A = this chain, B = another copy of it.
Amino acid sequence: MGQGEGQRHATLRTVAQLAGVDVSTASRVLNGTSEDARRAASREKADEIRRVAEELNYRSNPHAASLRTRRTKLIGVIVPRLSDLVLATIYEGIEDAATRLGLSTFVMNSHDEPREQKARTEVALSRRVDGLIFGDAHIDGRFIDEIAERRIPFALVNRRAGNHPSVTCDDYLGGRLVAEHFLELGHERVAVIAGEPYASTGIDRTAGFRDRYREAGIRLPSSRIVHSHFDAAGGRQAAEQLLRGRTRPTAVFAVNDFAAIGVLGTLRDHGLRPGKDVAVAGFNDTPLARELPVPLTTVRSPMHEMGGLAVDLLVRLLDGEQVKSERLAPDLVVRASTDPARLSPVATDL
C-alpha cells in the first residue's frame, strides 16, 4: 500500500524548536500531568509551547508513546455480534466511557463461537491492548478461565461466568418480576423461551422466573422451557415448538425482545391475539418494544450504563485495584402484550 499523505501531524521536536525550548520541556507541558506541566516551565514558556502546538495541530503520536510506556490506552471489546441491538447499545456505553477517559476501543464479533473468541482475542492482544471487555462469555467459563490464567486484565459485560469480574443486569430478579406479573394476571400455564443455553442472561432470567413460580406452588414442566437464538427468527421457531404442544400456554416469557417479536408473529399466524389470547413478555426494553402494533411488556435493563461500568471496572483493574462485580437492577415495563386493558379500544377488535 502506498503513501497516504505523509506528515499530517507535527512532531514534538518541531514544536519544541519553534517554541524555543527543548523536547523534554515541550513533552512535559503537552503530554505530562497538569502537575508536571506546572513545574516544568515558566507560565510564559508553557503558554508559548501550547500556542505553537495548537498552531501546528500537534497531537502526541500514540504509537510512539505506547512503545515507550508499554501502555497503549487501547481496549479490546469482543461481542457475539454488533448487529444485535443489545450488544450494540452496550458497546455505545463502552465507547462513550472510553472516550471520556481518553481510551480507544476495538470491537470484534465472535459469533459466540469459541474458535472465533480465541482468534479475536489474539488479534486484540497482538494489537497490544491494555485490557479486554468480553460481552460473549459462556457460562462454562472454559475460554474465560484460560484468559484469566494468562493474567490478562479483562472485564465481562452483560453475561457473567464463574467469579470473574463482570457488570450484568440482575437477570434473576428480572425473571422474577415477569413471573410476579404473570401470577398477578392469573396465568398458571406458562412457558419460557430461554435463549442460548450457554448465556447467563437467559439462564438467570429463566431461573428467576421458574423459582418464583415454584414459590407460588406451580412447577414448570421442562417441555415449556425452550431454548432459542436471541433474535426474531429464534423466537419464532421456539414459539412454533411450544404451540405444537398438547396444551397451549396462556403466557409466554421470552428472555429477549427480539425473540418476543418472533413470538408475536407466530401467534398471529396461528390466529391468536397477543395480549388477549396469549400474554407475551420480553426482556431489555428495546426502543422497538413500545412502538410495536401490540406494544410489548418487557424488562428494562440498563444496557448503555452496563457498558460504561464495564470500562470503569476494567480501568480500576488496570490500576491494580481490587474490584467487585456489579449487578444492576432491572425494571418491569407493562404494556399491552400482557394487558388487554391497554390495547387501544379499536385495536382490540383487530
Report A's interface with B, CB cutoff 8 A: 1-6, 8-9, 59-64, 66-67, 70-72, 81-83, 85, 88-89, 91-92, 95, 99, 104-109, 123, 125-128, 130-131, 150-153, 231-233, 235-236, 258, 261-262, 264-265, 267-271, 273-274, 287-288, 291-295, 315, 318-320, 344, 346-347, 349-350
Can you list 28 A-B contacts (CB < 8 A)?
A1-B130, A3-B320, A4-B130, A4-B153, A5-B153, A61-B67, A62-B128, A63-B63, A63-B72, A82-B91, A85-B88, A95-B108, A95-B109, A99-B108, A232-B292, A236-B291, A258-B288, A261-B291, A262-B291, A265-B292, A267-B293, A268-B294, A268-B347, A271-B344, A271-B350, A274-B293, A288-B288, A293-B294
Shortest CB distance A66–B (Å): 5
Task: Report how far A1 CA is from B46 CA in the complex, Å.
Answer: 26
A107 touches B107 (CB 8 A): yes
Task: Report how far A106 CA is from B6 CA in the complex, Å.
Answer: 21
Q: CB < 8 Å: which of B5, B99, B294, B318 contacts A2?
A: B318
Shortest CB distance A24–B (Å): 19
User: Known: A291-B232, A291-B236, A293-B293. Is A83-B72 also a contact (CB below 8 A)?
Assistant: no
